Structures are given as C-alpha cells and as structure tokens.
Amino acid sequence: MASDLRPGGRTGQGRTVPAVRFAERVRDGTSFRRDQLGFLQWAVRTHGDVLRFRVFGLPMIMLNHPEDIYRVLVENRANYDKDALLYRLVRPVLRDGLIGSPGGEPWQRQRRLMQPLFRPAVVARFAATMTDETTRMLDRWERDHPRGAVVDVHRDFGELALRIVNRSLFSARVGDAARDFAAAFTEANDILGRFFTFPFPPLSVPTPAHRRLRRAIDRMDAFIASFVRRRAAEPSDEPDLLGLLMEAADERDGSRMAAEQLHHEVLNLVVGAYETTTNALSWIFWLLASHPEEARRLTEEADRALGGRVPGFDDMARTPYARWVVEETLRMYSPAWQFMRRAKGPDTIRGYRVPARAHIYLNSYVLHRHPDLWDDPDSFVPERFSPERSQGRHRHAYMPFGGGERICIGQHFALTELHLVLLTIARRYRFTLPPGRPPVRPEPLITLHPRGGVPLEVWPR
Ligand code: HEM
C-alpha cells in the first residue's frame, strides 16, 4: 500500500498528494503521537487542505476541504468503504453492528431496518426518559452538594448518558440489572480507550487486559440475551428501542433481525451514544461556565419558554438559543473528532491522485476551525448557528455527525438529548469555574475527552 502512495504509483490520476516529511516534523518539533491536535493543525497550515502522513505506520490522506469531503462521503461514495484502520481495530468488540460495518448490502439492510427507529417522531417518545433521568441527577446534587460545591460534572454526565441510553433501550423495568451491564460496559470501554492510544498487540492476542475485555463483552452479551428473552415473553409498558428493534421488519422482504445481529446492534448503539453524549454535555457546561454572558442568555430563554416547567419535546422549537449552544459546542469540541474511509478503487481529488486502498482521514476538530470557513474559529459564538448567519455555509463544513449515507443514525436522538438535558439543568442550576484552575484541555482519545474531567462550582438557582 505504501508504494501506491509514492510518486509514480500505479493507480489514480493527477499530482501526488503533498507529504508531511519526517525532517520537517523534527524541525518544527511536532508529532502525531505526542500532540495529535497540534500536529494536525500544524500540518494543514503548512501543507494545505490535502496532505498525507502516517498513523501507526499506515499512510493516510487527510482531506480538510468541504468539497473534497463531499466527494468522498456523497458524490463518489460507492468508491469508499469503512474497511479502514479505525474500525478494524474495534471490530472484535463491535462485530457486525452498524458502526464498524465495512458497508455494502449487509450494512444497507441493517440501516434500512433501523433508520425508522431514529426518526424525530420516534425519538420524541424518549424525551420524558431524558428529562426524568436528568431531574433525578439534579435531585441527587441537591441532596449531596452544598451551594457552590465543586463537582466533576463529567463523571455525573457519564452516568446520566449511560442511564438515558440504557433506559431508552431496555425500558425502566431493567432496574438494577442495568448496573451490571453498565459496569461491564464501562470496563470494556476503558480497556478499549487505552488500547486506542497504542493499538498493539491486536485484540485477538490474549493479554490480561484483552482477556478482561472478552469477559466484559461476554457479560454484556449475556445481559442482552436474557433481556431479549424477557422482553419477548412480557411486553414493556414504557416504549423502548429494544422492542422496536425486535419488531423491525425489512421493508423489502419482511424479514427480521437475527438474534446475534440484534446483540451487536444493541452494543453498537450503547457505544455510539455513551461517550459522545457524555463529552458533549461536559463541553457544553464547561463552555457556559467560561462564558457568563452566553449562560445568562440561555437561562433567560429557558425561563421564558418553560415558566418553571420541566421541558418537553415541543419546547425545543421554542428555545433556539439552546440549540445554537449545542451546535456551537459540537463545532468546537466535536466528540467524534476523527473518522476514516478506504478507497476501493483509484480516484482524483482536487487534482491529486488517490490510489486504490488508500486510507482517507477526516477530522472535524480541524475542519471546524478552518479559518476560511469560520470567523474567529477559536471563540464560542452560539449565534453563528442562527439561520441568518448559517446561510451559504457549505453542508460539509460542519460535520459533528459525519455525512452522507453513513451519517450518525443517532443524531436526532443526540441533539434531542443534549437540548433537553441542557434546558432541564439550566432551569435549576448555574455553574462557575473554580478559581485558580487552568482551562480544561481536549484529550483526543476514541472521542474528544475533557482532560482530567470538568470540575465546576454548582449553584442551585
Ligand atoms: C453527540 C453525540 C454523537 C456524536 C457526536 C456522534 C457522531 C457520530 C459520527 C461522526 C458518526 C459517523 C462516523 C463515520 O462516518 O465513520 C456516527 C455514527 C454512528 N452513531 Fe453517532 N454520534 C452521537 C450520538 C449517537 C447516539 C445517541 C447513537 C445511538 C443512539 C449513535 C449511534 C451511531 C451509530 C449506530 C453509528 C453508525 C451509523 C452507520 O454507519 O450506519 N450516535 N456517530
């Protein structure tokens, strides 16, 4: 593969993509492994919007222009699949679920089956779960924390996001059993997170950590299997995604999902939903605590729209500022900050040659700070998402949920959750930064974490 990317490679047409050379990295003192975000920003500043470099020894072509991203994700999508490093690494865990499925007919069938469950009208059924779990968290805060106490909200938001996705999947009756599932999931997620910073040896090698991962996956599988059995025997009175998944029938041939596939999809939904929403919530409240004027505007909007009520699904349309806060946070700290594709055959992008089997690297953290696309990109300005200011923006200049046919299936679910959790909290609490602490920095793991958590002073209003 490496030889295909060198000048004179056999496939594709056009010029060779400019490479980040080892010598210039040394000269400028930057490296992907030491400081990924710094390295990537330096690389596009130095080489422009199409460039290549190596990740764990594997050559990548990075695209940082909306037109080129559109080419890969939409216009010439048939030429690109997800049989790429990032997803190969997690296949032993996610198996045949949507996230890491390479593509083609098996993915299309699954997506067809599952897409209807994530329409806004269906997501609306889970609004009460989202606000109810948030209210419980706030009640615990009220009980456990004196006014102005410093709380690591990141930890609590992790628990909240997991409760919301578990209850949406398995209904409230899952009760205490969900705790065991959550514990196994958290353990698997931690091991996987560490693995991603240095993905050697492969997960198939039975190191002690990989054996623990295997056991955690077995526990999750057993939980899902027992819940599916129970769920089939006695239907739930609260709507849940598991029931909808079990009933989902392919519009083409009426067939349902096989039991094993169902397991994989449930796991993929929890993995897709958990860390991404946790991180998004943490960044939202850290940004608000750092920007009192924007926080005040949000609180005023929430008070005006809700008049003291717990928000419902319909309140989202009445609270545009809250939506802009969510969107601006996802611009600045896009939790799913990088993704990849693999070229099946050769292509030409911006006059550059893309050989068959090349890895394509897309990074929303860098794209969302492109100075040609965003005014003052390092500043938190929710109004930039107002309809007036959004006019004329390229569709692929903003892609916290990816783009094209593999766009996040849970995006309405996530946007609803973030919006409603934000309103529910803003009604009852405000936040300030504990004095003397340095700003929270992003840590690029599988998702973009706030390094060291998000300690904030929490004040009941
Ligand atoms: C703020 C929250 C979220 C963010 C930022 C996010 C981001 C993303 C991105 C960027 C992708 C596409 C990756 C790629 O093209 O390689 C994706 C795919 C996916 N996400 Fe999300 N996601 C979020 C929440 C959720 C939730 C709540 C769920 C489930 C309830 C979910 C389930 C999935 C699944 C199953 C896929 C794979 C879809 C497919 O390939 O057909 N995500 N997500």
pLDDT exceeds cutoff 90 at 317 = yes
Tokens of 291: 């920007």
Q: What is the pLDDT of residues 57-87, one digit of tens each?
A: 889 999 999 999 999 999 999 999 999 988 9
The reply to whether ligand 1 has any atom less than 6 angstroms from the CB of 98 is: yes
Sign of the dihedral through C-alpha 284, 286, 291, 292: positive
The reply to whether ligand 1 has any atom less than 6 angstroms from the CB of 382 is: no
The reply to whether ligand 1 has any atom less than 6 angstroms from the CB of 102 is: no
The reply to whether ligand 1 has any atom less than 6 angstroms from the CB of 145 is: no
| Three-state DSSP state, 48 | coil
Tokens of 251: 């519009």
Pocket test for ligand 1, best of 365, 408, 416, 420 (most atoms within 8 A of CB): 408
Range of the domain at 387: 2-460
The reply to whether ligand 1 has any atom less than 6 angstroms from the CB of 216 is: no
The predicted model scores a pTM of: 0.95
- How far is 273 from 283, CA to CA, in rounded Å? 16
The reply to whether ligand 1 has any atom less than 6 angstroms from the CB of 280 is: yes
The reply to whether ligand 1 has any atom less than 6 angstroms from the CB of 111 is: yes
User: How many Cα atoms sit within 13 Å of 18 on the Cβ side?
Assistant: 13
Percent of the chain predicted with pLDDT > 70: 97
In this structure, of 85-94, 128-137, 201-210, 435-444, the range with the lowest mean pLDDT score is: 85-94
Number of domains, the chain: 1
Rounded distance from Cα 414 to ligand 1 centre (Å): 9
pLDDT exceeds cutoff 80 at 9 = no
- Going by CA atoms, what residue is nearest to atom 33 of ligand 1? 272
Complete DSSP assignment for 129-167: HHHHHHHHHHHHHHHH--TTEEEEHHHHHHHHHHHHHHH
Longest dimension (CA), the chain: 68
- Going by CA atoms, what residue is nearest to atom 17 of ligand 1? 408
Torsion of CA 46, 49, 54, 60, to 10 degrees: -170
How do strand 347-349 and strand 352-354 relate by DSSP bridges? Answer: antiparallel
List the one residue out of 408, 451, 453 whose CA is nearest residue 197: 451
The reply to whether ligand 1 has any atom less than 6 angstroms from the CB of 99 is: yes
The reply to whether ligand 1 has any atom less than 6 angstroms from the CB of 408 is: yes
The domain that holds 276 is classified in CATH as 1.10.630.10
Count other Cβ atoms within 10 Å, centred on residue 78: 10
As a whole number, the mean pLDDT across the chain is 92
Q: What is the pLDDT of residues 103-153, one digit of tens each?
A: 999 999 999 999 999 999 999 999 999 999 999 999 999 999 999 999 999
Measured N-to-C along each axis, helices 259-290 and 292-306 cross at an angle, to the nearest 10 degrees, of 120
Q: What is the pLDDT of residues 233-278, one digit of tens each?
A: 877 777 789 999 999 999 888 999 998 899 899 999 998 999 999 9
- Strand partners for 442: 450
The reply to whether ligand 1 has any atom less than 6 angstroms from the CB of 336 is: yes
Q: What is the pLDDT of residues 372-388, one digit of tens each?
A: 999 999 999 999 999 99
H helix or E strand, kind and range, residue 57: none
> Residue by residue, what is the 3-state secondary structure of 173-241?
HHCCHHHHHHHHHHHHHHHHHHHHHCCCCCCCCCCHHHHHHHHHHHHHHHHHHHHHHHHHHCCCCCCCH
Atom of ligand 1 nearest to the CA of 339: 16
Rounded distance from Cα 152 to ligand 1 centre (Å): 25
